[in-house]
Amino acid sequence: MPKRYGVKDKDVAVAHIVSGLLDGSLRPGDRIDRTEIAGKLGMSRVPVQEAVNQLERDGIVAIPYHRGVFLERFDADVVEEHYEIYGMLSAIASGRAAAHRPPELLTRLRQLIIEMSEADDPEVFENSVWEFRRAINQAVAGPRLRAAIGTFQGFMPTAFWLACADRRDYMLPLYGEELDAIERGDSERASAVVTRRTDRMAETVIEELRRRGVFDRDEARATHGQHPGPGR
């Protein structure tokens, strides 16, 4: 694989493993061969190990002592839990934005809503959505909250969302409603809109993964916390 300048090898390895999980080529309980991945991606084992360590912290893989690396349970319940936590964390930031209403932030969010409304290219829309959340997090969230949100925010790659045709239909009104709540200083409503949005995101992810067959085929292989031994 050619070198991707400006992108860390660790992040390339993370994306490779997550992409396999999302397209069904990797399944819960599968063993992750770090040497094979390093060879396929044209990098040393060091960044692959760094990727594995990050994915263990994120709850994507498990590393039983002296037994290798295995993919953790991944099903509709896990997706719902992921977005429930992401929603709670993002709701804290949105509630703070409504409580403080920094003028520079309000101006930026208004601009981004216009960009979302006028975006003809789905990728431009997704970039505006990402920037909306980043602007709020940078303005009112502390470093620990930003880091926690980032763990959950970046799991689904942009390419995945681009495959979800109806995402813009529900996202744009909810972002408009969130901005309205922030402008009015209504922290409770701003937080509630965020959790409604992440609930809908979970539904979209589950629907798309079912469409791809990721959650429907060979579900008996899900380990539910139990990891196969070496060689399986």
The DSSP 8-state label assigned to residue 31 in this structure reads: B
- Over residues 56-75, the pLDDT tens digits come to 998 999 998 878 999 999 99
Domain 9-74+217-221 has CATH 1.10.8.60: no
- Over residues 181-213, the pLDDT tens digits come to 999 999 999 999 999 999 999 999 999 999 999
Cβ atoms of residues 135 and 105 within 8 Å: yes
Better-predicted residue by pLDDT, 230 or 161: 161
Alpha-carbon gap, residue 125 to 121, rounded angstroms: 7
pLDDT of residue 6: 53
Alpha-carbon gap, residue 187 to 92, rounded angstroms: 9
Question: What kind and span of H or E run contains 71?
Answer: strand 70-71
For 180, other C-beta atoms within 10 Å of its C-beta total 14
Unique residue bearing structure tokens 């995945």: 160
Lowest mean pLDDT among 15-24, 152-161, 182-191, 211-220: 211-220
Tokens coding 131 = 């920037």
Q: Where are the domains of the chain?
A: 9-74+217-221, 76-212
How is domain 76-212 classified at the architecture level of CATH? Up-down Bundle (1.20)
pLDDT of residue 168: 87
Alpha-carbon gap, residue 32 to 62, rounded angstroms: 10
pLDDT of residue 157: 84
